Amino acid sequence: MDIEDSTLKQRKEYYDKSFPVETFYKWITRNKKYSDTRELSFTMSDESYIRYQHFKSNEELKRKLKEKVPIKFDIGAVFDKLLIGVTNTPLLREFIIDIDMDEYNDVRYCCQGTNICKKCWTLLVAAVQVLNYILHEQFGFNHILNVFSGRRGIHIWVCDDIAMEMTDTLRMNIVQYLNLFEAKHTNSQNESYIVIPGRHSLFDDSYQILEPLFNKYLQDEQIFECSERRSRFIRLIPTSKQSQCDEKEDLTWDYVKKILSDDPKALQRIVFTYLYPRLDINVSMKRNHLLKAPFCIHPATGNVCVPIPFNKIIDFDVTRVPTLISVQEERENKTEIIQNNRMEEEDSYNNSDNENDQKPKYSYKEFVQFFDSFVNDLIQ
Q: Confidence band (pLDDT; 50, 70, 90) for 338?
A: low
Mean pLDDT, the chain, rounded, equals 90
- Proportion of the chain above pLDDT 70, given as a percent: 91
Angle at Cα 206 formed by Cα 99 and Cα 285, nearest 5°? 40
161-209 pLDDT, tens digit per residue, is: 999 999 999 999 999 999 887 656 777 777 777 878 777 888 999 999 9
pTM listed for this prediction: 0.92
pLDDT for the residue numbered 182: 63
Q: Confidence band (pLDDT; 50, 70, 90) for 340?
A: low
With a cut of 60, say whether residue 335 has pLDDT above it.
Answer: no
Do 291 and 75 meet the contact criterion of CB atoms below 8 Å apart? yes
195-244 pLDDT, tens digit per residue, is: 787 778 889 999 999 999 999 999 999 999 999 999 999 999 999 999 99
Q: Higher confidence at residue 17 or residue 380? A: 17
Mean pLDDT of 310-332: 94
With a cut of 70, say whether residue 297 has pLDDT above it.
Answer: yes
Nearest-angstrom CA–CA distance, 89 and 286 = 12
Domain-wise residue ranges, the chain: 3-95+281-378, 102-142+187-275
Q: Does domain 3-95+281-378 have CATH number 3.90.920.10?
A: yes
Mean pLDDT of 145-173: 97
Task: Find residue 50's DSSP bridge partners.
Answer: 42
Candidates 63, 19, 70, 43; CA nearest to 327 is 19
Nearest-angstrom CA–CA distance, 73 and 95 = 18
CA distances from 63 to 55, 106, 259, 264, 321 (A): 10, 45, 64, 57, 27
37-90 pLDDT, tens digit per residue, is: 999 999 999 999 999 999 999 999 999 999 999 999 999 999 998 877 778 899
Q: Parallel, antiparallel, or unpaired: how do β-strands 144-148 and 95-100 relate? A: unpaired
